[in-house]
Amino acid sequence: QSALTQPRSVSGSPGQSVTISCTGTSSDVGGYNYVSWYQQHPGKAPKLMIYDVTKRPSGVPDRFSGSKSGNTASLTISGLQAEDEADYYCCSFADSNSYVFGTGTGVTVL
């Protein structure tokens, strides 16, 4: 159950797009279409942003989108806004009815 690999940080100017990758194995990301993404502001609980690779919960802006290819999932934030500055974690269902989270990516809005 090794953590999924994410870049440590990404940054962009307001209005730009950023993409965060999340790389796992065939035992997690590549084997199941159950990848979710969570946003976490400092000192706060995580918030669900994307589930089942591409689905957005009600209330999450449509500038957040998800995708997957092979063992790598991605979260794209289009039209970056100041309030998007936070840590983002991917999570995948994995073998043996377990879950594995990513290492986390800090998004900075320049």
Residues 42-81 that bind another protein (CB under 8 A): 44-48, 51-52, 55, 57
| 17 versus 98: smaller Cβ distance to another protein | 98
Judging by beta carbons within 10 Å of its beta carbon (0-12, 13-18, 19+), is residue 43 exposed, middle or buried? exposed
At 31 the three-state DSSP class reads: helix
Judging by beta carbons within 10 Å of its beta carbon (0-12, 13-18, 19+), is residue 83 exposed, middle or buried? exposed
**# residues contacting another protein (CB under 8 A):** 27
Q: How far is the CB of 101 from another protein (least distance, A)?
A: 4
Residues 79-108 that bind another protein (CB under 8 A): 89, 91, 93, 96-104
Query: Of the candidates 34, 63, 65, 76, which one interacts with another protein according to CB under 8 A?
Result: 34
Q: Which residues contact 61 (CB under 8 A, 6 or more apart)?
A: none
Which residues are at the interface with another protein (CB under 8 A)? 1, 3, 34, 36, 38, 40, 44-48, 51-52, 55, 57, 89, 91, 93, 96-104
